[in-house]
């Protein structure tokens, strides 16, 4: 459909990576890694060079999210998906409630639901809709997804919990730029290959003292939990600025670089920049008759992942393929299981607003001629 479409040189973005994860890793981070020479890569995660970097990440995240001093930053191998199981096995006592509105929040629910000795309840909202909370007093863990990456829906507020309940937030694609008062959560976790510009394979969990206490209580129940999923192991190793088993130093290095960069601006400023990108993309979708924002309610429109439907007369897949082949834009296709004629465009911190603007112009030009 768009094979003969020519893109003027002035519209070519400075970087083609617009995907919603893995995301744009600045080449300057790769150069900084190279500059460490033989002193970091290929050294042990029990040695000082690693521990210094690891502590910088822990301190940097605590500063960025302005969490109380007794919160702990726990990092380990496995990514957010791994934590779905680790939370079900090691944090839930008896009952978890999951507010779901897309593929990832539903996947987390399914992880909890498959553990025979706990019970999990799903409170599901239609895809494209936001979640609203109802009475969940009987549950000892409340599970919410900050930014549903499959649909581009973010939550507008945190649910309230009491002193005996744990509020666990999967913040994977929103952490760092979608508004959230992390000090009001108990486990705020994410994989770093989104806003935090690293690679996949590791998880970051910012834990309240209440969550740490809960992990200790559940450990005493005598249920079998594989050592690799033990909160005790994860927490104790992180207290020594290391991980339970061998991590990817590269991923942690990139994460640290990004945390340092984002701390120069601060969380508030990063949220404002994200909102500007969101205004640009949703404004464009409103202006063009052949486009519409998939998420209709403004308060649930993500400031990290924009999902924009396109009139069925035009194939989003065809255009995505042309832009991919021409090396202009990578990863702007809809979440595969959603099956919509849609663009899903990342607004992660490192993606320049000027490049997003160019992308909107390219797409408009492809359609309007
Ligand atoms: C909201 C959300 N949760 C969980 C995950 C899974 O992360 P990982 O693949 O790092 O385990 C993703 C991945 O895109 C996600 O977007």
Write the pLDDT tens digit of every residue in 13-41.
999 999 998 999 999 999 999 999 999 99
d(C-alpha 160, C-alpha 142), whole Å: 9
Kindly state the average pLDDT of the residues 295-309: 98
318 three-class SS? helix
pLDDT, tens digit, 9 for 90 and up, residues 173-192:
999 999 999 999 999 999 99
- 120 and 144 fall within a common domain: yes
> What's the gap in Å between 107 CA and the centre of ligand 1?
10
Predicted local confidence at residue 315, as pLDDT = 95
Instruction: Quickly list H helices, the chain.
Output: 27-35, 48-65, 79-90, 103-113, 209-219, 231-239, 249-265, 267-287, 316-325, 353-368
Amino acid 5: pLDDT: 83
Parallel, antiparallel, or unpaired for β 141-145 and 166-170?
A: parallel
Centre of ligand 1 from the C-alpha of residue 366, in Å: 32
Q: What pLDDT is attached to residue 1? A: 73
Q: Pairing between strand 166-170 and 187-190?
A: parallel
Ligand 1 atom nearest residue 82's Cα = 11
Q: Which of 207, 241, 265 is the last residue of a domain?
A: 265
Residue after which a domain boundary falls, among 245, 265, 285: 265
**In this model, does residue 290 exceed pLDDT 90?**
yes
The CATH number that applies at residue 45 is 3.40.640.10
Distance separating alpha carbons of residues 11 and 45, to the nearest angstrom: 44
Return the best residue to mutate from 19, 22, 81, 87 for the ligand 1 pocket (most ligand atoms within 8 A of CB): 81
In a domain, 209, yes or no: yes
Distance 267 CA to ligand 1 centre (A): 21
Taking the whole predicted model, whether its pTM rises above 0.95 is answered as yes
Q: Same structural domain for residues 80 and 147?
A: yes
- Is 149 found in the same domain as 227? yes
Q: Which domain holds residue 300?
A: 21-25+266-368
CA distance 275 to 180: 14
d(CA 201, CA 191): 7
> Does residue 253 share a domain with residue 290?
no
* 310 within a domain of the structure (yes/no): yes
Ligand 1 binding site (Cβ under 6 Å of any ligand atom): 21, 79-81, 104, 145, 149, 170, 172-173, 191, 200
As for how many domains the chain has, the answer is 2
Q: At what angle do helices 267-287 and 249-265 cross, to 10 degrees?
A: 90
> What is the per-residue pLDDT for 86?
98
Q: Which residues pair with 53 in a beta bridge?
A: none
Q: What confidence score (pLDDT) does residue 277 get?
A: 98
Quote helix, strand, coil % in the chain, to nearest 5.
40, 15, 45
Q: Whose CA is nearest to atom 5 of ligand 1?
A: 80
Q: How far apart are CA 165 and CA 142, in angstroms?
A: 7
Q: Which of 229, 245, 265 is the last residue of a domain?
A: 265
Span 158-167, average pLDDT: 98
What's the Cα-to-Cα distance from 99 to each of 31, 136, 146, rounded to whole Å?
Answer: 41, 10, 10
* 297 and 230 inside one domain: no
Residue 8 lies in a domain: no
pLDDT in tens, 197-252: 999 999 999 999 999 999 999 999 999 999 999 999 999 999 999 999 999 999 99
Mean pLDDT on 267-296: 98
- DSSP 8-state symbol, 158: P
Residue 178 near residue 154 (C-beta atoms within 8 A): yes
Q: What atom in ligand 1 is closest to the CA of residue 81?
A: 11
pLDDT of residue 270: 98
Q: Are residues 103 and 141 in the same domain?
A: yes
- Mean pLDDT for 324-338 is 94
CA contacts within 13 A on the Cβ side of 153: 26
Same-domain pairing of 293 and 362: yes
Mean pLDDT of the chain: 97
Residue 99 has pLDDT above 90, yes or no: yes
Distance 172 CA to ligand 1 centre (A): 6
> Are 275 and 188 members of one domain?
no
Residue 3, pLDDT above cutoff 80 = no
- Report pLDDT digits (tens) over 103-152: 999 999 999 999 999 999 999 999 999 999 999 999 999 999 999 999 99
| 22 upstream amide cis, omega within 30 of 0 | yes
What is the CB neighbour count within 10 angstroms for residue 121? Answer: 15
Instruction: Give the Å distance between the CA of 225 and the centre of ligand 1.
Output: 22
Residue 44, both tokens: 């042990």
Ligand 1 centre and the CA of 77: distance in Å? 14
Pocket test for ligand 1, best of 103, 149, 203, 307 (most atoms within 8 A of CB): 149
Contacts of 251 (CB under 8 A, 6+ apart): 192, 198, 199, 200, 201, 202
Residues 334 and 292 placed together within one structural domain of the fold: yes
């Amino acid at each position: 459909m768009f094979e003969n479409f020519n893109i003027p040189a002035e519209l070519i973005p400075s970087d083609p990576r617009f995907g919603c994860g893995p995301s744009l890793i600045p080449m300057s981070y790769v150069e900084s890694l190279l500059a460490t020479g033989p002193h970091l890569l290929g050294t042990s995660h029990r040695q000082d060079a690693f521990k210094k970097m690891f502590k910088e990440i822990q301190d940097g995240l605590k500063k960025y999210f302005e969490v109380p001093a007794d919160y702990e930053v726990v990092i380990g191998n496995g990514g957010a998906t791994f934590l779905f199981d680790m939370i079900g096995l090691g944090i839930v006592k008896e009952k978890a409630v999951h507010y779901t509105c897309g593929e990832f929040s539903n996947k987390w629910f399914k992880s909890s639901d498959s553990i025979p000795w706990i019970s999990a309840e799903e409170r599901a909202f239609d895809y494209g809709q936001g979640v609203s909370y109802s009475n969940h007093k009987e549950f000892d863990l409340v599970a919410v997804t900050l930014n549903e990456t499959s649909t581009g829906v973010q939550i507008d507020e945190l649910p309230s919990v009491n002193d005996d309940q744990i509020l666990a937030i999967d913040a994977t694609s929103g952490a760092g730029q979608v508004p959230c008062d992390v000090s009001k959560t108990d486990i705020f976790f994410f994989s770093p290959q989104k806003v935090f510009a690293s690679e996949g394979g590791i998880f970051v969990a910012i834990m309240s003292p209440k969550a740490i206490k809960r992990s200790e209580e559940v450990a005493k129940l005598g249920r079998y939990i594989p050592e690799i999923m033990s909160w005790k192991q994860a927490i104790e190793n992180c207290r020594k600025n290391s991980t339970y088993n061998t991590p990817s130093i590269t991923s942690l290095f990139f994460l640290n670089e990004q945390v340092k960069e984002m701390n120069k601006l601060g969380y508030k400023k990063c949220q404002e920049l994200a909102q500007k990108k969101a205004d640009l993309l949703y404004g464009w979708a409103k202006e063009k008759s052949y486009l519409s924002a998939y998420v209709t309610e403004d308060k649930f429109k993500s400031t990290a992942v924009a999902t924009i439907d396109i009139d069925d007369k035009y194939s989003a897949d065809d255009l995505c393929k042309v832009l991919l082949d021409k090396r202009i834009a990578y990863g702007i296709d809809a979440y595969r299981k959603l099956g919509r004629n849609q663009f899903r465009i990342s607004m992660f911190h490192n993606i320049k607003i000027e490049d997003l603007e160019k992308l909107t112009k390219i797409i408009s030009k492809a359609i309007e001629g």
